[in-house]
Amino acid sequence: MPARARAQDAPSPLPTALVADPAPPPAGVTAAVVQSPDAPKGGGFVRFFKDVGGDYKHFFSKETAWWYAGGLGAAGLVHIADEEIAENLADPPAATTTALEGGDKYGNLSLQIPLAVGWWVTGHAMGSARGASAGRDLLRAQINATTWSYVIKYAVDRTRPNGDPRSFPSGHATAVFATAMVLQQHYGWKVGVPFFGAATYTAISRLTVNKHWASDVTMGAFVGMASARTVTLHLRNQKFAMGPFAAHGGGGVSFVKVQ
């Protein structure tokens, strides 16, 4: 009888899986740990560089074609007013110039690359699969966006308003809009909105210092967003498996991401 009582008191087996940042299981319940599908498989830098190579292949897709078509169309329309916008912003008030100085620093790769790496490392250190995946995608997006930005820059070789070469598209706009789109894809608009605001701030700052035409920053924004959408394809291609589980005193239904 004592042995039978102990057997009845034991919790039922719980087939479950941990997804990114899960809540701890109830007391007395043991959960089986399964690696999040967002975490890189194969480990380390080898897998990372394979994914970067795959990003170049996936960049030429139906989805990115729409983003590029939209970017070219929008840049073409803005191009009509390039001269007028440049003239209106040629001599902004000193207060405006001072207020927008941060855009040059925020949009520079010397900040965007450490931001991506820091997000990845911090997420990994905190045991957050979603944080590590977001940081990893941020870095991939910067590599992808910078590559295509410079390919287009050298191919078009447009003269900047200040007379310098390689104006189209804006590299700063490309970088910051890539960051904003990656974070929006991972965390939704609650995180995406402030980062898109920072991206817009950076884009405007490139006009007030006479570094770019308005159509440059417009196209740069679309290149950045297209790159971000490319590296986050795995988020939109995820599927879910559903299954019941039993626990002591009850049960429920679990949803697990699968690839």
CA 241-20-122 angle, 5° bins: 155
pLDDT at 28: 44
Tell how far CA 122 is from the center of its chain.
Answer: 16
What does the pLDDT read at residue 251?
52
pLDDT score, position 46: 87
For residue 64, the model assigns a pLDDT of 83
Q: Facing residues of 257 across strands? A: 240
Residue 228's pLDDT is 97
CA–CA dist 41, 50 (Å, integer) = 11
pLDDT averaged per 10 residues in sequence order, the chain, 259 residues: 48 43 47 41 74 87 86 96 93 89 95 97 96 97 96 96 96 98 98 98 95 97 96 77 54 49
3-state secondary structure the chain: CHHHHHHHHCCCCCCCCCCCCCCCCCCCCCCCCCCCCCCCCCCHHHHHHHHHHHHHHHHCCHHHHHHHHHHHHHHHHHHCCHHHHHHHCCCCCHHHHHHCCHHHHHCCHHHHHHHHHHHHHHHHHCCCHHHHHHHHHHHHHHHHHHHHHHHHHHHHCCCCCCCCCCCCCCHHHHHHHHHHHHHHHHHCHHHHHHHHHHHHHHHHHHHHCCCCCHHHHHHHHHHHHHHHHHHCHHHHCCEEEEEEEEECCEEEEEEEEEC
- Structure-token match 């299954």, residue found: 243
pTM of the full predicted structure?
Answer: 0.76
Pull the structure tokens for residue 84: 């007028």
Sign of the dihedral through C-alpha 32, 35, 36, 37: negative
